[in-house]
Structure 1
Amino acid sequence: MRLGSGTFATCCVAIEVLGIAVFLRGFFPAPVRSSARAEHGAEPPAPEPSAGVSSNWTTLPPPLFSKVVIVLIDALRDDFVFGSKGVKFMPYTTYLVEKGASHSFVAEAKPPTVTMPRIKALMTGSLPGFVDVIRNLNSPALLEDSVIRQAKAAGKRIVFYGDETWVKLFPKHFVEYDGTTSFFVSDYTEVDNNVTRHLDKVLKRGDWDILILHYLGLDHIGHISGPNSPLIGQKLSEMDSVLMKIHTSLQSKERETPLPNLLVLCGDHGMSETGSHGASSTEEVNTPLILISSAFERKPGDIRHPKHVQQTDVAATLAIALGLPIPKDSVGSLLFPVVEGRPMREQLRFLHLNTVQLSKLLQENVPSYEKDPGFEQFKMSERLHGNWIRLYLEEKHSEVLFNLGSKVLRQYLDALKTLSLSLSAQVAQFSPCSCSASHRHCAERLSWKSHCHLLGFLCSFIW
């Protein structure tokens, strides 16, 4: 049976419309959002769980650090720090990683690996979509809840120098700022000097709580001559000197502050073997994340294989570190090594606040949330936590108390991991990754391989 030309044309149009619809569904995925809007202010924190007793801890825990400095080096690949280049060109950073009071991670940045969505992920803990690639060219003010918004609401004084994208995303949030443009890609010297020139002055002052520096020079070198250029080593050496200057200054000032300080070194994304970024290759998504503070125990030995975490975990970790509410839309988990030196009650409190936040987000975005393994783990953890609180208030020191606390802690960590994966899967369910060569990997992770093949076919049909 032969189809008429009109019928055939109708079928072609229908397939094309379907392909476009599925394609756009990938680029405009349904976001995971809290129903409580950021402009309405922070909700009261969840109280400690109780089991027949009343806990008196109903407020947020106090800050863990006095000052926080975030050094974001654009396009900083993980192997630039943890590989041979780091050993050769960043000796001070390498020392801190291997033997200093620090915690090192490889933070995975989800595509699109361009600057604005990555800043958004770092500060909100949410997963931006590919539509943010367009917004990257002219970033609008960020309306989502974020660490920056919460810090400003709490009266924290934030100073920023570097990529002007931050100034566009967070207008009126900084008490002082100096933005640099990223459009002059051939400039990899002055664009960073314009950040570093402020350091001596701002580090001597004590009138700020958070200092954010965003260096663009490394990214520009990558675009000009790629990751194997001799200029890369020179720039890494320059950044190592910057990190040493900041770290030594923070250490010298700690005698004047009641709490230790925290220095964070991170990248927004990496760079491919051609120096570009935006896609999902290993070189583009793996970035170093190093947290440095005298609050952490010094580590002996060589640590060259940092644990892999998600870039979205940074927002929850910074919020806890600063004594702030975790951003409402965050799908990230607290990086537990940051708080593992605290008393057990505080550790459980931090983990409980994070799991409560994630479970609320799950309830508002997944109709069958009660059947989610992460939610079940959370409820079990909360019950055990209540039993621990009752025992803690009765007898603060016992082997039974310690063993039960360790069990609750493990339960919370498992619940956090599962909840975070469940929420991330909600966004990634129709991810455009299926339109790339890596769609098979995405399918295996999301268990819908046949759908990915269909979507990949339709996307290629459209293109």
Structure 2
Amino acid sequence: MSNKVILVVLDGLNYQVARDCMGYLNGLLEQQRLTLYPLQCELPSMSRPLYECIITGVRPVDSGIVNNHIVRLSHHDSIFSLATAQGKVTAAAAYHWMSELYNRAPYDAVRDRFTDDKSLNIQHGCFYHWDHYPDEALFLDAEQLRRRHQPDFLLIHPMNIDDAGHKHGLDSRQYRNSARVADIILSNYIPQWLADGYQVIVTSDHGMNNDQSHGGILQEEREVPMFVLGDAFSHRPAAVKQTDICGTVCQLLGLEHDKAYTQELLA
């Protein structure tokens, strides 16, 4: 089975806040048009280690990307590298750490912010380096990439939910409202993505705590949502691991790979 895939990683989104605040996605859930799986992130519950985990399927303690200050390329096959090697088109609208992991490190804003290079793992990119970069702008960047390049795999990675959590904490109106805004933005794009034949996964790297941080083992830091939309999914009960996202996307894309994946997720 070969499908195009959009993977949305809403940085820092706690599972319960996704359930409480994201009315559009939960409306689709109520009408059985999507399926929601709870997912426990790997450790440490930090961004750069978990970007690597999501995109390569390798746990942080095995990848060596064990904190946010390790700036180097990934040492592992990724969705991006496997896709480009097998003739697929890749794109990302994402925080600049994604560029550092899969394209070039360290990130040079002038060189890397706008990327169009078919020799790179992320062939078409719009990267940003401000945590407050508006989610609305980021989704516009992503949609422009999608319409221009028709990528087989598109990563969309906004940062405002995480930014609000670091400024105000888990139990704050600012954090919850950032999730609501992301939900509204998604409502403007998801119907067209599905109409254009994309399978859509909406998930997060980690959650948030009331210390305005994350990194440890608290449930609110580790439990994140994974919403799946599209006819390539089974929509059956499944125990999903964060390390299986990479392989599951590779299956959807019809790639040859040796990554673990969740068979029960797929139709």
Note if 1:246 corresponds to 2:189. Answer: yes
Structure 1 296/142 Cα, relative in aligned 2: closer, same or farther at 3 Å? closer
Q: Among the aligned pairs, what percent are the same residue?
A: 22
Cα shift at 1:227: 1.3
Distance across 1 between alignment mates of 2:92 and 2:145? 10
Structure 1 76/307 Cα, relative in aligned 2: closer, same or farther at 3 Å? farther
Residue in structure 2 matching 1:133, options 33, 43, 66: 66
| Structure 2 residues not aligned, in runs of 5+ | 104-119
TM-score where L is the length of structure 1 = 0.50
Amino acid at match of 1:333: Y
Cα shift at 1:292: 0.5
Structure 1 218/126 Cα, relative in aligned 2: closer, same or farther at 3 Å? same
Between structures 1 and 2, the one with greater helix share: 1
Q: Which residue number in structure 1 is paired with residue 125 of structure 2?
A: 177
Distance across 1 between alignment mates of 2:235 and 2:50? 30
Note if 1:111 corresponds to 2:69. Answer: no
Q: CA RMSD in A?
A: 2.3
Structure 1 203/132 Cα, relative in aligned 2: closer, same or farther at 3 Å? closer
Q: Which residue number in structure 2 is paired with residue 289 of structure 1?
A: 226
Distance across 2 between alignment mates of 1:199 and 1:215? 10
TM-score where L is the length of structure 2 = 0.85
Residue in structure 2 matching 1:202, options 145, 164, 175: 145
Amino acid at match of 1:264: I
Distance across 2 between alignment mates of 1:116 and 1:296? 28
Q: Which residue number in structure 1 is paired with residue 205 of structure 2?
A: 268
Distance across 1 between alignment mates of 2:144 and 2:261? 35
Distance across 1 between alignment mates of 2:32 and 2:144? 26
Contact 1:97-1:103 within 8 A present in 2 as well: yes
Between structures 1 and 2, the one with greater strand share: 2
Cα shift at 1:307: 5.5
Distance across 1 between alignment mates of 2:169 and 2:238? 27
Per the alignment, in what secondary structure is the counterpart of residue 139 of structure 1?
coil
Q: Which residue number in structure 2 is paired with residue 81 of structure 1?
A: 18
Structure 1 298/152 Cα, relative in aligned 2: closer, same or farther at 3 Å? closer
1:52-451 alignment to 2 at 5 Å? 62-63=1-2, 65=3, 67-82=4-19, 85-86=20-21, 90-129=22-61, 132-134=65-67, 136-171=68-103, 172-181=120-129, 187=132, 190-205=133-148, 207-253=150-196, 260-296=197-233, 308-326=239-257, 328=258, 330=259, 332-339=260-267
Deviations 1:99-138 (A, max 9, x none): 233232111112101111111111221211195334x224
Contact 2:13-2:206 within 8 A present in 1 as well: yes
| Structure 1 residues not aligned, in runs of 5+ | 1-61, 254-259, 300-305, 340-463
Contact 1:261-1:294 within 8 A present in 2 as well: no
Amino acid at match of 1:170: Y
Cα shift at 1:208: 1.6
Per the alignment, in what secondary structure is the counterpart of residue 45 of structure 2?
coil
